[in-house]
Each structure stands twice: as structure tokens, then as C-alpha cells.
Amino acid sequence: MDEMNAFYASVISWLEQHPQLYLATGLFILFMLAWLSNAVVKRMLVRGIMKALRATEIGRSNEIAKSSVIARLANVIPALVLSVGIVWVPEVPEVIVAVVQNVANAFVILTVALAINGALTLINTIYEKKPDSHLKPIKGYIQVLKIVIYLVSAILIIAALIDRSPVILLSGIGAMAAVLMLVFQDTLLSLVASMQISSNDIVRVGDWVEMPALNADGDVIDIALHTVKVQNWDKTITTIPTRRFITDSFKNWRGMQDSGGRRIMRNILLDQQSIGFLSNEEKVRLSRFRLLRDYLESKQKEIDDWNQSLEDEGKEPANTRRITNIGTFRAYILNYLKHHQRIHQDMTMMVRQLAPTSDGLPLQVYGFTNTTAWVDYEAIQSDLFDHLLSILPEFGLRVYQHPSGVDLRSLRDTSSKTAEPEDKPKETSLGEKAPENPTADHEQERIKKEAAGKGSES
């Protein structure tokens, strides 16, 4: 033991004679101790903590293993070793000691802040895996806490680097309050908006929202402090400031999805010239329809009772009531909806006429499907109107549409076939023979001769 002490004293005395070598040796030993402490903490302590966490229910989550919170905290140990050990290195100027300690302390503060933010991110990730997490998202509050932690850590880091009390910096920040309010204006507004959205349950992740002012129409996929992301139906992403959901109007389709029914509201444009009364033959023919049998019987009884009350005036057809084809068609559609398996029977259901337009008489079909799935809804609606448009001629009704090129060509061909021959005697509108006009006939004869002469010359 005495020999070791003597050897150590001799080495120290020799190094004191070489100050630069003494300083380099001390720094090398200090850095080796810092590296060794980092390796021991990360390989032994961190692994031990992770192994202990895996034994718990929280530690079984893959997010814990992916998180770098514990690894970041392990970086504090080497910084503390440098901060404490730099004092024991000989021949180090006091200025260097102060700089190393200040930088090490600032590094410790930064590492702790990053670890806390990582822990907050981990909490939000685990929370979002809960089935009902979309009802009360906490991502906005997590981001607010992160901003506060970054601000506090920035003040502490600056105070550590300049070796001053943080209170001095805080007193200066009070004078810069107006500037900070301007800088963090959007953050403050977004914070208030996020609190209102969460407390009033205005928007949730997964809601179908529609905001025409920003061309947003799709599902909400993320609600953060500053922005709300909406995935449109064309798979594009629209990023909307959070406060716009408070200041602007938008449509949330959550009520439709929760109700279990989606509305059908579509018009069939009827040609008004095809509307009329049903003849007895047509009544008999339509009574074959199962959906119309009860309607025709009850309606005919109601009309007969009405007409009988007119007595002598009922002999004039203009004074009597009669069954119309459009009324019968309305009754058919309503009964068809009531017997349709995919139409919601507990919600509003009706068929009504709207005001006539130049495009025909709109007959509106109003009801709800018993599903809110988009593809199923469109299939049900299409099948419904496929049937209605196909059976429409049975009622003597026509769908109105603007004439197309085929219609005009058919009209032209029909007109050419029914055109009168030129040699047919002309008649007046009353069917009488039109008087002859010798002057006009002579002029027509002259024009024919000139045309024949030109044709022979060519």
C-alpha cells in the first residue's frame, strides 16, 4: 500500500512539472469517467427499468419500448459528471470551469425538458388507443403543456448559460408582454378554440364535416392545438385553423350517422301535359297493383260520396271529382316506400309536389334509408328511382327532359314524311279551296324554266 502511495505521489509530482500534460491527463480521465457512467447507466440501469416496466400492464405496450424518455434521462448522468468533475481537474482556468458547468447545467435542463415532452407524447399516444379517445381528444392540451415546458426550459437554459437568476429574465419578460401576446396570438386563439371544441363536443376525430368556404368535405383525422386535419373524399388533406370551427359555420354530419338513417330527397320532373284523369279501363288495370288496390278502393268511395252530395250538379263532369294519374302515382310511391326493406320506417316519409317550373312538375320523394354507409345508401337510392322511372309509363305519365339531337332528328323525319305534295290543291284554314293567283303561278313557272335552262347549260 505504501509503495502504491509512493508511486502515485511520484507520478503527481512529475505531472506537476509538466502542466500541459497534467491538464490533458485530467481532462482525459474526466471524459472517460463521463463515457463510462453513460455506458453503465444506459446498458444496466435503463435495461433494468425497461425490464421492470414490462412486468406491468403499461410496460407491455410497444409504445413504451419505442419511447426514448428513459434514454434521454440517462444523458443527465454524464453531464453531471462533467459539471462536478471539472472542478477537480488541475490547471484548468476558472473561466473554463464556469463555462463547462454552465453548459452542462443547460444541457441537463434541455435533456429533462425533452424527456418530459417525450413522456407527454407517450401519454397522448397511449390515450388515443382507447376506444372512446376520439370523444375527448387531449392532443391540444398536450401541445399547450409542451409550449409551456419549452418556454420555461428556454428561460432556465439562458439563465444557466449567463449564470444569472431566472427571476431577472422573468422581470424582463413582463415588459415584453405585449410583444409576446402578438407573437403567440394564434396560439392563444387556438387554445381557447380547442377548449370550446372539447367542452362543447363540437368536433371529434372521425366526424364527417363540410366547410364549403375552405373546400373541406370529409372525415376529421386529427385535432391539434393549431390545426384540424380533414381528409376529403378525394383523399386530399385540408388543414383548417382550429379557431375557424368557432368563428365560421360548418356542417357536421355526426347527427345523421348517430341516427342510423340517411335522407333521400330527390325530384322526378314530370311532363305536365301527361297529367290527367284516369279512365275506367285504367282504374281496372292499375287495380292489379297490390300497392294500389286499397288506395283505389278507398279513394273511389270517397269521390263517389262527394259526387253524390252534389245531386243535380254532379251530372256535369266539370263539377265532379275524379282520380288523377299523378295522385295515384304519389300513392304508389308512398306505399312502395312503406314496404321497402331498406327504408327507415320510423323517420319522416312523404311524396309531395313542388311548384311547377319550366322544366316540368317536380314530384319530390322524401325518406330515409336504414343505413348511413355511403355505398349502400347510393345503391338503395339508385334502385328506388330505377324502379320508379321504369314503372312511370304505367300511369300514363312522362318524364320531362329537354329535347336532344335525337329528338330533333326524329321530329324532322316525321315532318318530312307527313309533308303535303306540291300538286295538292291549296286550302284555307277552314278547309276551303284557296283562290287561284295567276300572277304568282306565272312567276313560279318562269323560275322553274330558268332553273332548267341553267341546268342544261352546265
Task: Kindly state whether residues 27 and 145 are assigned to the same domain.
Answer: yes
| CA distances in angstroms from 262 to 98, 363, 373, 380, listed in the order given | 71, 20, 9, 11
Instruction: Choose the final residue of a domain: 379, 395, 411.
Output: 395
What is the pLDDT, as a whole number, of residue 431?
46
Which residue reads 320508379 in cell numbers? 388
Record the cell numbers describing residue 325, joined without a space: 294519374
Of residues 405 and 402, more confidence is placed in 402
Residue 250 falls within a domain, yes or no?
A: no
Out of 212-221, 275-284, 391-400, 443-452, least confident range: 443-452
Of residues 49 and 157, more confidence is placed in 157
For residues 325 and 184, what is the distance between their CA atoms, to the nearest angstrom? 68
- Residues listed for the chain: 458
Task: Render 276-337 in DSSP notation, one character per residue.
Answer: -BPPHHHHHHHTTSHHHHHHHHHHHHHHHHHHHHTGGGGGSGGGS---BHHHHHHHHHHHHH
In which band, very low, low, confident or very high, does the pLDDT at 84 lie, cut at 50, 70 and 90?
confident
The H or E element spanning position 161 is helix 139-162
pTM here is 0.57
What number is the average pLDDT over the span 421-445? 51
Task: Kindly state whether residues 270 and 164 are assigned to the same domain.
Answer: no
Task: Kindly state whether residues 286 and 177 are assigned to the same domain.
Answer: no
For residues 124 and 97, what is the distance between their CA atoms, to the nearest angstrom? 41
DSSP assigned state of 398:
-
Cβ distance 19 to 26 under 8 Å?
Answer: no
From the list 68, 35, 34, 38, the residue with the least C-alpha distance to 50 is 68
What number is the average pLDDT over the span 284-298? 92
Residues 6+ apart with CB under 8 A from 209: 203, 216, 217, 218, 219, 220, 230, 250, 251, 252, 253
Q: Is the pLDDT of residue 276 over 50?
A: yes
What number is the average pLDDT over the span 182-195? 78
In which band, very low, low, confident or very high, does the pLDDT at 311 lie, cut at 50, 70 and 90?
confident
| Alpha helices per DSSP H over 61-93 | 62-66, 69-74, 76-85
In which band, very low, low, confident or very high, does the pLDDT at 429 lie, cut at 50, 70 and 90?
very low
What is the pLDDT, as a whole number, of residue 369?
95
Instruction: Choose the final residue of a domain: 395, 413, 446.
Output: 395
Task: Kindly state whether residues 12 and 130 are assigned to the same domain.
Answer: yes
For residues 213 and 166, what is the distance between their CA atoms, to the nearest angstrom? 46
Which residue reads 332548267 in cell numbers? 452
Task: Decide the pairing of beta strands 237-241 and 361-369.
Answer: unpaired
Reduce the DSSP state of residue 357 to 3 states and report it: strand
Reduce the DSSP state of residue 49 to 3 states and report it: helix
Task: Kindly state whether residues 166 and 20 are assigned to the same domain.
Answer: yes
Residue 38 falls within a domain, yes or no?
A: yes
Residue 117 falls within a domain, yes or no?
A: yes
Residue 17 falls within a domain, yes or no?
A: yes
Record the cell numbers describing residue 291, joined without a space: 300497392
What is the pLDDT, as a whole number, of residue 355?
94
For residues 228 and 233, what is the distance between their CA atoms, to the nearest angstrom? 16
Cβ–Cβ contacts within 10 Å for residue 443, how many? Answer: 11
User: The domain containing residue 166 runs over which residues?
Assistant: 2-183
Record the cell numbers describing residue 115, joined without a space: 424527456
Out of 3-7, 294-298, 303-307, least confident range: 3-7
Task: Kindly state whether residues 13 and 161 are assigned to the same domain.
Answer: yes
For residues 327 and 319, what is the distance between their CA atoms, to the nearest angstrom? 18
What is the pLDDT, as a whole number, of residue 285?
92
In which band, very low, low, confident or very high, does the pLDDT at 261 lie, cut at 50, 70 and 90?
very high
What is the pLDDT, as a whole number, of residue 102?
85
Record the cell numbers describing residue 272, joined without a space: 305536365
% of the chain at pLDDT higher than 70: 76
Of residues 64 and 37, more confidence is placed in 37
For residues 418 and 407, what is the distance between their CA atoms, to the nearest angstrom? 17
Cβ distance 239 to 335 under 8 Å?
Answer: no
For residues 343 and 333, what is the distance between their CA atoms, to the nearest angstrom? 12
Instruction: Choose the final residue of a domain: 368, 395, 422.
Output: 395
Rg (CA), the chain: 45
Residue 332 falls within a domain, yes or no?
A: yes
Cβ distance 275 to 399 under 8 Å?
Answer: no
Residue 304 falls within a domain, yes or no?
A: yes
Task: Kindly state whether residues 176 and 265 are assigned to the same domain.
Answer: no
Record the cell numbers describing residue 46, joined without a space: 435503463
In which band, very low, low, confident or very high, does the pLDDT at 458 lie, cut at 50, 70 and 90?
very low
Residue 94 falls within a domain, yes or no?
A: yes
Measured over the CA atoms of residue 225, residue 231, residue 237 and residue 238, the dihedral's sign is negative
Q: Is the pLDDT of residue 246 over 70?
A: yes
Cβ distance 349 to 334 under 8 Å?
Answer: yes
| CA distances in angstroms from 208 to 94, 254, 258, 402, listed in the order given | 64, 6, 12, 36
For residues 245 and 251, what is the distance between their CA atoms, to the nearest angstrom? 10
Task: Kindly state whether residues 286 and 371 are assigned to the same domain.
Answer: yes
For residues 357 and 366, what is the distance between their CA atoms, to the nearest angstrom? 19
Record the cell numbers describing residue 166, joined without a space: 431566472
What is the pLDDT, as a whole number, of residue 22?
59
Residue 457 falls within a domain, yes or no?
A: no
What is the pLDDT, as a whole number, of residue 430?
42
Q: Is the pLDDT of residue 237 over 70?
A: yes
For residues 262 and 347, what is the distance between their CA atoms, to the nearest angstrom? 10
Sheet containing strand 361-369, strands side by side: 262-270, 361-369, 350-353
Instruction: Give me the residues paired with residue 208 across strands.
Output: 219
What number is the average pLDDT over the span 201-222? 90
For residues 155 and 104, what is the distance between their CA atoms, to the nearest angstrom? 16
Looking at the structure of the chain, the number of domains it has is 2
For residues 128 and 348, what is the distance between their CA atoms, to the nearest angstrom? 37
Task: Kindly state whether residues 152 and 270 are assigned to the same domain.
Answer: no
What is the pLDDT, as a whole number, of residue 341?
94
Task: Kindly state whether residues 167 and 298 are assigned to the same domain.
Answer: no
- Amino acid identity for residue 352 in this structure: R
What is the pLDDT, as a whole number, of residue 443?
52
